[in-house]
């Protein structure tokens, strides 16, 4: 479990650092800006994905829950969306219109963190099927 925790923390931290500073670099190069905090949104995506992976890893230790891990994972996407809406209701959803730059700066990190999250979830689920 400690090895898994370390791998998750290290992987999501590296992706967080790369994504955040690459976003800042590109925005500076384009002399563009966004009206919300990139740090906060990226941190939310990273922490939410780590928590989901850790919970599934923890649940995988229970024999009764192992066949249900895929079904346990599905509602987490919905819950993560609701939490994102609640936490960023005024900074993001309060904006009248998002620019293309702002949309991309939300969508790209979301997809990257979600991809890494799904990678780890698939590893957890397939390890328990054998």
What pLDDT shows up at residue 107? 95
**Is the separation of the CB atoms in 92 and 106 below 8 Å?**
yes
Helix (H), strand (E) at residue 110: helix 100-129
pLDDT mean values, one per 10 residues, the chain (130 residues): 90 97 95 93 97 94 90 94 93 87 94 96 82
Residue 92 sits in which domain range? 2-129
What pLDDT shows up at residue 86? 94
Rounded to two decimals, the pTM is 0.91
The domain tally of the chain equals: 1
Residue with tokens 């998750």: 8
CA distance 6 to 3: 5
Q: Give the burial string for 88-108 (b: 16+ CB within 10 Å, else e).
A: beeebeeeeebeeebeebbee
**φ, ψ dihedrals at 91, nearest 5°:** -65, -35
CA distance 55 to 49: 10
Helix (H), strand (E) at residue 129: helix 100-129
What pLDDT shows up at residue 128? 67
- The answer to whether the Cα torsion of 82, 88, 93, 97 is positive or negative is negative
CA distance 78 to 67: 21
Neighbours of 76 (CB within 10 A): 18
């Amino acid at each position: 479990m400690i090895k898994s925790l370390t791998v998750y923390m290290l992987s999501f931290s590296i992706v967080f650092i790369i994504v955040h500073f690459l976003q800042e670099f590109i925005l500076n190069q384009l002399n563009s800006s966004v009206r919300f905090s990139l740090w906060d949104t990226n941190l939310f995506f990273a922490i939410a994905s780590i928590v989901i992976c850790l919970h599934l890893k923890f649940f995988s230790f229970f024999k009764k829950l192992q066949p249900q891990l895929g079904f346990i994972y599905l509602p987490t996407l919905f819950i993560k969306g609701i939490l994102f809406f609640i936490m960023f209701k005024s900074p993001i959803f309060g904006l009248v219109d998002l620019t293309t730059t702002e949309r991309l700066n939300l969508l790209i990190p979301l997809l990257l963190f979600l991809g890494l999250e799904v990678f780890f979830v698939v590893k957890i689920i397939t390890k328990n099927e054998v």
